[in-house]
Structure 1
Amino acid sequence: MTRKSREAAVRRMLERPAPRVPPELHADAVRRGARILRRRTLVRRAMWLLLLAGSVAFVVWALTVRPWVEPPSETTPPLTGW
């Protein structure tokens, strides 16, 4: 193909009317988009809820177990009754 014939082919394509979108395609796309948005919102809320529950569980565990406190030494018995 020469340059002029390619330009002519492109001009013919551009001069043609744009293809029509079937009306039911728009409704299907809107329905699918709404469903995807609802699903994403539900997943996002579930993830936040899971993160919150994990944080609360960690805080409750940390307050009851208190892992930052050094455990008492059990290698020697306490000296009592001197």
Structure 2
Amino acid sequence: MARMNREATVRRMLEQPLPPVPPGLHAEAVRRGARIARRRTLVRRAMWLLLLAAAVAFTVWALAVRPWAEPPPETPPPLTGW
């Protein structure tokens, strides 16, 4: 289809009257949109709560285990010079 032909077809389509909208479509769209927004908010809050719980668990673990400290020696060093 040539470009001029496509443009003419689109112009004809845009000049036609719009099809009727079914009754109740707006109310249904608003209801679904509100439900999706609530679900996204709930998921976002749950993810933040999970992130906070993981940060607290890591902090408690790090303070209890102290992985940055040098581990105590398993055996004493040999005594020399006695």
Deviation at 1:16, TM superposition (A): 2.5
Q: How many pairs align?
A: 80
In the alignment, what sits opposite 1:32?
32
Structure 1: which 5+ residue stretches go unaligned? none
Amino acid at match of 2:47: M
Deviating runs (4+, > 2 A) in structure 1?
Answer: 5-16, 75-79
Using the aligned pairs only, state the percent identity: 80
Deviation at 1:26, TM superposition (A): 1.1
The equivalences for 1:36-51 within 5 A come to 36-51=36-51
CA RMSD for the aligned pairs? Answer: 3.1
User: 2 CA distance for matches of 1:58 and 1:6?
Assistant: 61
TM-score normalised according to structure 1 size: 0.75
Amino acid at match of 2:18: A
Question: Is 1:67 equivalent to 2:67 in the alignment?
Answer: yes
Query: Secondary structure of the residue that 2:74 maps to in structure 1?
Result: coil
Deviation at 1:7, TM superposition (A): 7.5
TM-score normalised according to structure 2 size: 0.75
Query: Secondary structure of the residue that 2:24 maps to in structure 1?
Result: helix
Q: Render the CA deviation track for 1:5-49: whole Å, top value 9, x for unaligned.
A: 987765554433111211211111110010000000000000000
